[in-house]
Structure 1
């Protein structure tokens, strides 16, 4: 069982190499637990035969539906085909490894890219789409504890969120995720994945990062301040007030330009079109604006190299107030 993005996933895998990939993706959070309370089930079958779609209604290229079932070919370019059976209490996602020639080449020559695609297709995107049925939207953001505060960190990829998180965890803080969460405008639930940082040992990933397990992770937090992050060129950080419109814009734009979510939008729209479930478009803007209207916000322009911890920077906000 895996609890991620506020959803409980029962996992069953017939392919040992995929099971190893799933173990790595769950970053130590996979548990032997009662699966009766699962909100979705993920099963990877050993069969390489195509799912039956004869006489099914086409939804779009590579997608078909019949009653409460949907079949998608080559989900997100991962090489896995999907059959979704939607029920009132649980969604059943069944996968088969059926890569096209190009997919086989990519998996062999670009293993880190393939691993990220497979994680998204098998675990992350199903959990986020299931969360959308609860009126939650994905955000490219995280929430951690920093002293007495619970900041929601917003901003584009590569700005330094992971570094700030790891610094706070090193002094006893907790965090819900590295980069991706879902929120209803009040609580944020983290997506389980390894944290990607610069330097050190671990699986090599794009942009010169390596993966580590995110220690001291908690499933959810209720943020009490929004921190919009930018990277500057000076040697010292700048902390300044941030109005609600700017805070919301930081959350919205950071989410829609995030590489981790690039394929999610079409995945979610296809499942929604096929099943009639969930929002036609994830309410990212509405959730971000609701958070920004409720919470105080600051903008931090980070220096050109790591410096003060987030909690130390937020102490400046209290001093200004």
Structure 2
């Protein structure tokens, strides 16, 4: 088995998989950014997908809750996030190891067969995204459902719920030569954003079909980290053309927080993070989402971008136009 590395969510993740079909899913999620691990690599997160089908040994573990056990800072979870995988988590200073075993109960196996697209997205999240998010959270970073990119001379942090058009804006800037660290998920400390590796999901694109009529395409030239210089709340309007206006920090904070908790990509994450925090005693009981959002909004200028029915201007153009007026 080959040790591979990918940088995601500010973490260096080592992935070793004994199951070829799982390896393919991880390659999809990593979007070409996996590389063979060098002998001296020091990953902060180790993900091992084991080939055995035996249950993890529960001797010495105490029951934490239904389907979860704990022992001296370690945790075992059965059918984690209904993915079909059992999970053993063992944190130690500077590193955490996630061991997965494919042992689906009948219900999870049936869901995987009936809803293959949902299953693929869920497994990719459980095996690659959630470990990075949780270990980043142990060090005090917060997960955010945001886009962060370079648009002309600006470095906007785009806030707002799913489906308002953030990915389309980022895609347009990438085609124009911009860069991005994330268009969907990242972790942040109130100053910087570290993107979580995943595909762009766009309408009217050519790529693997996914949910809500979208297709997956690779984000090329992804930046591991970006320091935003403004917060832009993205909304949809009924007018013909898009426009940008200033907004207050309270509005921006609320959008960052509510957009994060509304995100379907994180719906199963909160329960997992709470279970691991309780079982291991590592990190905060809950990530500082509201605090980090407020740091961004109170420190940076905040704007509201109201998209029209026929958007004709790029994000870079709109932000530049606003600066010219100011």
TM-score class, shorter-chain normalisation, is over 0.9
3-state SS of the aligned residue for 1:126?
Answer: helix
**Deviating more after overlay: 48-57 vs 79-88:** 48-57
3-state SS of the aligned residue for 2:7?
Answer: strand
Q: Distance in 2 between matches of 1:48 and 1:256?
A: 34
Q: Which residue, out of 7, 10, 19, partners 2:23?
A: 19
Residue number in structure 1 paired with 2:231: 226
**Are 2:293 and 1:279 equivalent residues in the alignment?**
no
3-state SS of the aligned residue for 1:281?
Answer: coil
Asked whether the equivalents of residues 63 and 69 of structure 2 are also in contact (C-alpha less than 8 Å), the reply is: yes
Residue number in structure 2 paired with 1:288: 293
Residue number in structure 1 paired with 2:251: 246
Q: Distance in 1 between matches of 2:133 and 2:63?
A: 24
Residue number in structure 2 paired with 1:205: 210
Q: Which residue, out of 33, 47, 52, partners 2:37?
A: 33
Matches within 5 A, 1:56-135: 56-135=61-140
3-state SS of the aligned residue for 1:211?
Answer: strand
Q: Which runs of 5+ in 2 are unaligned?
A: none
Deviation at 1:68, TM superposition (A): 3.0
**Deviating more after overlay: 105-114 vs 267-276:** 105-114
3-state SS of the aligned residue for 2:108?
Answer: helix
Q: Distance in 2 between matches of 1:69 and 1:55?
A: 11
Q: Distance in 2 between matches of 1:36 and 1:69?
A: 24
Deviation at 1:172, TM superposition (A): 0.7
Tell me the alpha carbon deviations over residues 65-84 of structure 1, each in whole angstroms, 9 at most, x when there is no partner.
11232101111111111001
Q: Distance in 2 between matches of 1:203 and 1:80?
A: 24
Deviation at 1:255, TM superposition (A): 0.4
Residue number in structure 1 paired with 2:146: 141
Residue number in structure 1 paired with 2:12: 8
Deviation at 1:238, TM superposition (A): 2.2
Report how many aligned residue pairs link the two structures.
321
Q: Which runs of 5+ in 1 are unaligned?
A: none
Q: Distance in 1 between matches of 2:283 and 2:154?
A: 33
3-state SS of the aligned residue for 2:145?
Answer: strand
TM-score w.r.t. length of structure 1: 0.98
User: RMSD in angstroms over aligned alpha carbons?
Assistant: 1.0
TM-score w.r.t. length of structure 2: 0.96
Q: Which residue, out of 235, 260, 267, partners 2:272?
A: 267
Q: Which residue, out of 278, 302, 307, partners 1:302?
A: 307
**Are 2:47 and 1:42 equivalent residues in the alignment?**
yes
Deviation at 1:316, TM superposition (A): 2.2
Tell me the alpha carbon deviations over residues 40-86 of structure 1, each in whole angstroms, 9 at most, x when there is no partner.
10000111111111341111111101123210111111111100111
3-state SS of the aligned residue for 1:169?
Answer: helix
Asked whether the equivalents of residues 186 and 194 of structure 2 are also in contact (C-alpha less than 8 Å), the reply is: yes
Q: Distance in 1 between matches of 2:311 and 2:23?
A: 37
Q: Distance in 2 between matches of 1:240 and 1:66?
A: 53
Deviation at 1:141, TM superposition (A): 0.3
Deviation at 1:33, TM superposition (A): 2.7
Matches within 5 A, 1:177-196: 177-196=182-201
Asked whether the equivalents of residues 241 and 311 of structure 2 are also in contact (C-alpha less than 8 Å), the reply is: no
3-state SS of the aligned residue for 1:19?
Answer: helix
